[in-house]
């Protein structure tokens, strides 16, 4: 979605709703496919966190870059990657976003500025500041958004990236998705001080805290911060509170989580909240239903296409390693 | 003896050592919260017996997990630092290679670094490029480090205990695809396996196959297939890569006159090259044919099944190579 196109508020929010529904449908279908044995590796689902990637990326342009992490399906879809190609990637089939070389944790679509999910925590933060430096060097009018999990904010490279972005006044928006958990650990239990916002502020970076399950709020704040970054305002930090509804990976049974917590937090999931707002603002239930089924249909088609797609030629394992000294 | 899987065997081994020596402690991400959900059973419920001072659930801070373990080892305790996967341990190679491996030597023998660094190696279904690497050669190449890569639950338990009692820094590399494999394990808490002793997996007189970690199981499978064709392969599981059991290998090569080294890791620059070169240098009189190696192609680990299969060394690959070595 291009940032300028929609000025009518309900129409804009309805678009956000559609994107979130598409991400939700993708994640649910991915889990079904995983359980049925069609997905070769693990999947980290974004269910319940859709508002963040959606609200942020709806304010980005194709020429802007994002750097994602292991929980990257939603970021990719929101940035405009093709869900069918993504599903094929999960299935390890021809037509996958990364040629079936990477799988769920390595989805990338450079054509829409999605510079990659990542299997190594915090590496996106340092690469993100480098991408911003490249934009400056090349004189390109674009910005970089880096998505980082709450648990990852305890890794050193994240702080090096914050400092670096500030001293070189780089066009970077850091988005911290605080979903309460880092694998099976409650992030708070291993995090000192007042949290990510205070930490970003310690570097002199303007930092903002928001309810990450409120897509309208995320959209508004992201619009503001992104225009500041675009306007030469230097790096900004957006801390979005949310909740990881599913296990760390889809087969995680979450025995560490207090009983009833998921159900309680599910009540605040972003799509239902967005639907409630839309119903109050002139969008009919039939339109919402139609949007949901259209998203589900698109994903069902993607799954069907993934099933139908062939496996890649095994010999492609030897392609794209390097130019000089490539394997025989 | 009891029959159990490797995850349980190493957990019991660690617990026995922690009971024996109050200065043994473990640190790593999710050590006290993982209930078999995301990181297996290696630490399950140890927190209940040993408490949070000895089962330390750390933030996602690889440099400090490794660095703190080095500092704590120098300062009189015996830490077991769990980095989860070899791929994440790369984030802290500096603390391991520049500090742990050097401190005793560089400070003229004033200090010892009795540290165990656990990191899982090996491809596991769909793990792809950043969750599959076998990096044992990196550490064998580093003076000051001991490197262990067991293949069975019994060896894993006995060698983990030996690693904990060892005054040198030990890199202990478990294989992801072996954690669920079962085997006979001693119940004697005083039974410790010597580091640097190989295990003869299969006796034979026609050729020697030297291997370690999961490849030992695959080589044993290959030996069965070879036996059906009248070729008797002697399979040696090194178990320790530094120091490695040259006596066992030399004795076997003196008998068979033929050597094949099989490894899961990328063959180029791998530890197998060291074994092959050493035997070629020192056992040339006994060798009836030149030494051969088999290992992964020099490619990152791809995701999709058919490509992943290109990376993996199978029993059939070993059989074909062994026949070449045996001149059959
Ligand atoms: C450097 C590194 N350390 C550890 C891991 C294993 N790991 C993968 S995701 C994860 C938890 C991340 O938590 P958070 O940053 O909060 O992101 P979330 O999964 O909650 O989205 C861990 C420990 C890794 N992939 N890379
Ligand atoms: Mg988190």
Total number of residues shown for chain A? 328
> In this predicted model, what pLDDT tens digit does every residue of B138-171 receive, in sequence order?
999 999 999 999 999 999 999 999 999 999 999 9
Phi, psi torsion values for A181, nearest 5 degrees = -115, 155
Contact B99, B64 (CB under 8 A): no
Tell me how far apart the alpha carbons of residues A269 and A215 are, in angstroms, rounded to a whole number. 10
Contact B301, B266 (CB under 8 A): no
Contact B81, B115 (CB under 8 A): yes
Interface test with B, best of A33, A106, A256 (most B CBs within 10 A): A256
Q: Please check whether residue A214 lies inside any domain of the structure.
A: yes
Q: Please check whether residue A260 lies inside any domain of the structure.
A: yes
Tell me how far apart the alpha carbons of residues A47 and A22 are, in angstroms, rounded to a whole number. 11
> In this predicted model, what pLDDT tens digit does every residue of B263-304 receive, in sequence order?
999 999 999 999 999 999 999 999 999 999 999 999 999 999
Q: What pLDDT, on the 0 to 100 scale, is given for residue B35?
A: 63
Retrieve residue A132's tokens: 């911003």
Which residues does chain B have within 8 Å of residue A39's beta carbon, measured at their own beta carbons? 126
Which residues does chain B have within 8 Å of residue A184's beta carbon, measured at their own beta carbons? 30, 33-35, 37-39
Q: How far apart are the CA of A149 and the centre of ligand 2, in A?
A: 5
- The CB of A244 under 6 Å from ligand 1? The reply is yes
Angle at A68 between CA A312 and CA A58, to 5 degrees: 105
A to B CB pairs, distance under 8 Å: 149
Does A184 sit within 8 Å of B30, measured CB to CB?
Answer: yes
| Nearest Cβ partner for B129 among A106, A156, A255 | A106
Q: How many domains does chain A have?
A: 1
- The CB of A50 under 6 Å from ligand 1? The reply is no
Contact B78, B168 (CB under 8 A): no
Which helix (H) or strand (E) segment holds residue A238: the answer is strand A236-241
What value does the mean pLDDT of chain A take? 97
* Residue B37 in this model has a pLDDT that exceeds 50: no
pLDDT band at A5 (very low <50, low <70, confident <90, very high): low
Task: Give the CATH number, domain containing residue A307.
Answer: 3.40.50.970
Contact B128, B303 (CB under 8 A): yes
Q: Please check whether residue A239 lies inside any domain of the structure.
A: yes
Beta bridge partners of B2: B185
CATH 3.40.50.970 occupies which residues in chain B?
Answer: 2-185
Tell me how far apart the alpha carbons of residues B246 and B279 are, in angstroms, rounded to a whole number. 9
Beta bridge partners of A146: A67, A174
Pick from A27, A52, A119, A121 the residue to mutate for probing ligand 1's pocket: most ligand atoms within 8 Å of its CB: A121
pLDDT band at B328 (very low <50, low <70, confident <90, very high): confident
* Residue B40 in this model has a pLDDT that exceeds 70: no
Q: Calculate the dihedral angle through the C-alpha atoms of A306, A37, B302, B84, rounding to the nearest 10 degrees.
A: 140
Alpha-carbon distance A120 to nearest alpha carbon in chain B (angstroms) = 7
| Domain range B199-326, its CATH number among 3.40.50.920, 3.10.105.10, 3.30.43.10, 3.30.70.1520 | 3.40.50.920
Retrieve residue B300's tokens: 């990152």
Look-up of token digits 């019994």:
B154
* Those residues with Cβ within 8 angstroms of residue B310's Cβ, 6 or more apart along the chain or in another chain: A314, A315, A317, A318, B297, B299, B302
Burial (CB count within 10 angstroms: exposed 0-12, middle 13-18, buried 19+), residue A318: middle
> In this predicted model, what pLDDT tens digit does every residue of A192-226 receive, in sequence order?
999 999 999 999 999 999 999 999 999 999 999 99
Angle at A149 between CA A147 and CA A150, to 5 degrees: 135
3-state secondary structure B163-198: HHHCCCCEEECCEHHHCCCEEEECCCCCCCCCCCCC
Phi, psi torsion values for A179, nearest 5 degrees = -100, 20
Burial (CB count within 10 angstroms: exposed 0-12, middle 13-18, buried 19+), residue B228: exposed
Q: What pLDDT, on the 0 to 100 scale, is given for residue A7?
A: 67
How far, in Å, are A98, B98, B253, B274 from residue B256 at the CA level?
47, 41, 5, 19
Distance of CA A90 to the CA centre of its chain: 16
Taking residue A197's Cβ as centre, other Cβ atoms within 10 Å add up to 18
What is the DSSP-derived secondary structure letter of residue A186? E
How far, in Å, are A129, A169, B226 from residue A204 at the CA level?
16, 11, 67
| Average pLDDT, integer, range B54-72 | 97
Total number of residues shown for chain B? 328
What value does the mean pLDDT of chain B take? 96
Tell me how far apart the alpha carbons of residues A95 and B85 are, in angstroms, rounded to a whole number. 30
Q: Please check whether residue A22 lies inside any domain of the structure.
A: yes
Q: What pLDDT, on the 0 to 100 scale, is given for residue B170?
A: 98
Tell me how far apart the alpha carbons of residues B252 and A121 are, in angstroms, rounded to a whole number. 45
Tell me how far apart the alpha carbons of residues B268 and B137 are, in angstroms, rounded to a whole number. 10
Retrieve residue A42's tokens: 């693990």
Q: What pLDDT, on the 0 to 100 scale, is given for residue B41?
A: 86
Pick from A153, A154, A178, A165: which is nearest to A126 by CA? A165
Half-sphere exposure of B26 (CA within 13 A, CB side): 30
Structural domain span for residue A155: 10-311
CATH 3.40.50.920 occupies which residues in chain B?
Answer: 199-326
Q: Name the CATH architecture for the domain at B2-185.
A: 3-Layer(aba) Sandwich (3.40)
Contact B70, B116 (CB under 8 A): no
Tell me how far apart the alpha carbons of residues B55 and B32 are, in angstroms, rounded to a whole number. 7
- Asked if B131 is an active-site residue, the reply is yes
The model's pTM: 0.97
* Residue B203 in this model has a pLDDT that exceeds 60: yes
Q: What pLDDT, on the 0 to 100 scale, is given for residue B33?
A: 87
Its sign, for the CA torsion A79, A80, A85, A88, is: positive
Q: Please check whether residue A325 lies inside any domain of the structure.
A: no
Retrieve residue B249's tokens: 């290998």
* Residue A6 in this model has a pLDDT that exceeds 70: no
Interface test with B, best of A317, A319, A321, A322 (most B CBs within 10 A): A317
A177 CA closest ligand 1 atom index: 21
* Residue A3 in this model has a pLDDT that exceeds 90: no
Contact B154, B207 (CB under 8 A): no
Retrieve residue B28's tokens: 């790593």
Alpha helices in chain B (DSSP H): 6-20, 46-50, 62-74, 86-89, 93-94, 103-106, 136-140, 153-165, 215-228, 246-256, 271-282, 305-311, 315-326
Tell me how far apart the alpha carbons of residues A110 and A64 are, in angstroms, rounded to a whole number. 10
């Amino acid at each position: 979605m291009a940032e300028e196109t929609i000025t009518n508020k309900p129409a804009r929010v309805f678009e956000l709703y559609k994107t979130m529904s598409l991400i939700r449908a993708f994640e649910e279908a991915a889990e079904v496919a995983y359980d049925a044995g069609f997905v070769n590796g693990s999947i980290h689902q974004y269910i319940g966190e859709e508002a963040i990637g959606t609200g942020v990326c709806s304010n980005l342009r194709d020429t802007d870059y994002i750097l994602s992490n292991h929980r990257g399906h939603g970021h990719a879809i929101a940035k405009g990657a093709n869900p069918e190609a993504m599903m094929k990637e999960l299935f390890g089939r021809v037509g996958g976003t990364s040629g079936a070389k990477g799988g769920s944790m390595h989805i990338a679509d450079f054509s829409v500025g999605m510079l990659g999910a990542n299997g190594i925590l915090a590496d996106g933060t340092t690469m993100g500041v480098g991408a911003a430096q490249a934009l400056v060097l090349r004189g390109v009018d674009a910005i970089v958004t880096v998505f980082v999990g709450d648990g990852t904010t305890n890794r050193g490279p994240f702080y090096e990236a914050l400092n670096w972005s500030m001293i070189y006044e780089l066009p970077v928006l850091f988005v911290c998705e605080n979903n309460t958990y880092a694998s099976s650990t409650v992030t708070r239990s291993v995090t000192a001080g007042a949290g990510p916002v205070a930490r970003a502020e310690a570097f002199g970076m303007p930092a903002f805290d928001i309810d990450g399950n409120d897509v309208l709020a995320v959209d508004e704040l992201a619009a503001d911060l992104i225009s500041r970054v675009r306007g030469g305002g230097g790096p900004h930090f957006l801390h979005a509170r949310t909740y990881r509804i599913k296990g760390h990976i889809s087969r995680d049974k979450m025995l560490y989580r207090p009983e009833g917590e998921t159900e309680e937090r599910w009540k605040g999931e972003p799509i239902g909240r967005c639907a409630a707002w839309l119903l109050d603002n002139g969008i009919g239930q039939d339109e919402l239903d139609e949007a949901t089924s259209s998203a589900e249909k698109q994903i069902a088609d993607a799954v069907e296409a993934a099933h139908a797609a062939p496996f890649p030629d095994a010999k492609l394992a030897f392609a794209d390693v390097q130019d000089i000294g490539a394997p025989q | 003896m009891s029959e159990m899987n490797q995850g349980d065997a190493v957990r019991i081994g660690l617990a026995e050592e922690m009971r024996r020596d109050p200065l043994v402690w473990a640190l790593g991400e999710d050590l006290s919260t993982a209930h078999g959900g995301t990181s297996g059973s290696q630490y399950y419920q140890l927190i209940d017996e040993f408490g949070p001072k000895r089962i330390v659930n750390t933030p996602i801070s690889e440099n400090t997990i490794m660095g703190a373990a080095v500092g704590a080892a120098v300062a009189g305790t015996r830490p077991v630092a769990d980095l989860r996967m070899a791929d994440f341990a790369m984030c802290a190679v500096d603390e391991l290679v520049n500090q742990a491996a050097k401190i005793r030597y560089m400070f003229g023998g004033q200090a010892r670094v009795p540290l165990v660094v656990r990191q899982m190696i090996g491809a596991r279904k769909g793990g792809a490029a950043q969750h599959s690497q076998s990096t044992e050669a990196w550490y064998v190449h580093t003076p000051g480090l001991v490197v262990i890569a067991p293949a069975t639950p019994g060896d894993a338990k006995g060698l983990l205990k030996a690693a904990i009692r060892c005054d040198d820094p030990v890199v202990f590399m478990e294989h992801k695809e072996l954690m669920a494999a079962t085997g006979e394990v001693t119940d004697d808490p005083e039974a410790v396996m010597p580091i640097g002793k190989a295990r003869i997996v299969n006796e034979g007189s026609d050729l020697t196959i030297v291997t370690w970690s999961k490849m030992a199981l695959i080589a044993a499978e290959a030996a069965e297939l070879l036996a059906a064709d009248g070729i008797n392969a002697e399979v040696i599981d090194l178990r320790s890569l530094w120091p490695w059991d040259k006596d066992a290998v030399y004795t076997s090569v003196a008998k068979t006159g033929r050597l094949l080294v099989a490894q899961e890791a990328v063959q180029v620059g791998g530890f197998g090259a060291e074994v092959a070169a050493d035997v070629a240098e020192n056992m040339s009189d006994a060798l009836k044919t030149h030494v051969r190696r088999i290992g992964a192609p020099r490619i990152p680990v791809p995701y999709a099944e058919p490509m992943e299969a290109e990376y993996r060394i199978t029993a059939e690959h070993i059989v074909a190579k062994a026949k070449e070595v045996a001149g059959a």
